[in-house]
Amino acid sequence: MKTLTRMMEHLYWANGRLAAAMKEQGADHPEALRLLRHVVMAERVWLTRLQGNDSSHLAIWNTSETLDELIGMLGRNERGYRSYMEGLSEERLDDIVDYRNQSGAPFRTSIRDIVTHVALHGQYHRGQINRILRAESLEPVGLDFILFARD
């Protein structure tokens, strides 16, 4: 449980750090915003499923939000996950969650595997956003776990 909680703390830190740097640098590249929105919405989808609710109404690859709106959504996700994780015990980590993906296909996955996926999924896309920042002559953001651990 401690490791998963620490991984989620890194996720909140990395998401917040990247979004703040994008705002500070005026990074409004459409693909960077699309990728950040994907991270935000994927996290929202998984939280919705963990809470036992249907996520089919949530679009994962939309591009309508501004950076400020995405920052607000990141905050809501963080609060939701913090609340969920506070109520979670080690004994429940292997409980199975039944859900349907965005295409309607049924799946069964343990809470442990879902939370691990959530903690790791955004890392790839945050790296893609950093690549876009560099290509736009902006400053990429250090988001490695060790930087978080040292912070």
Annotation: binding site for a divalent metal cation: 38, 121, 125
Residues in the chain: 151
C-alpha span between 50 and 138 (Å, rounded): 36
- How far, CA to CA in Å, does 125 sit from each of 2, 48, 109, 135? 25, 21, 23, 15
C-alpha span between 17 and 39 (Å, rounded): 14
Annotation: binding site: 38, 121, 125
